[in-house]
Amino acid sequence: MASKPVWEQIGAGFVQHYYQQFDSDRTKLADLYTDASCLTWEGVGFQGNKAIMEKITSLPFQAIRHSITAQDHQPTPDSCVMSMVMGQLKADADQVMGFQQTFLLKNVDNKWICTNDMFRLALHNFGA
């Protein structure tokens, strides 16, 4: 069996690491963002490591578990990796919810960091 392209290996490795950290200790995600990184969380934007981490660490749950059902990765023309993730999450006693998240990863000083991150719960309001 042929090995996966390098961008898929990078993306899959990042996704695994990201959600392991998110589920166990969100504060450890700070190493993945820089002061130039951007996060859009449910349509609200945050820029810079400090603002992103304030948002992530202030989310109103004690425990969370992500289950990844699909992920796709692509190389970009500027040697970055774009990753799209679909899955389900369970926070505290809430019901299981679907989510989608997209990351743009860039190699800075031999370390893959997240320059762009977009997150949405897969909720639909068909009555609106």
Share of the chain above pLDDT 90, in %: 91
Distances (CA, A) of 17 to 13, 77, 93, 112, 128: 6, 24, 24, 11, 37
Mean pLDDT of 79-103: 96
- Going by CATH, does the domain composed of 6-121 fall within 3.10.450.50? yes
* pLDDT, tens only, 7-45: 999 999 999 999 999 999 999 999 999 999 999 999 999
1: confidence class by pLDDT, cuts 50, 70, 90: low
Taking the whole predicted model, whether its pTM rises above 0.75 is answered as yes
- C-alpha span between 120 and 112 (Å, rounded): 23
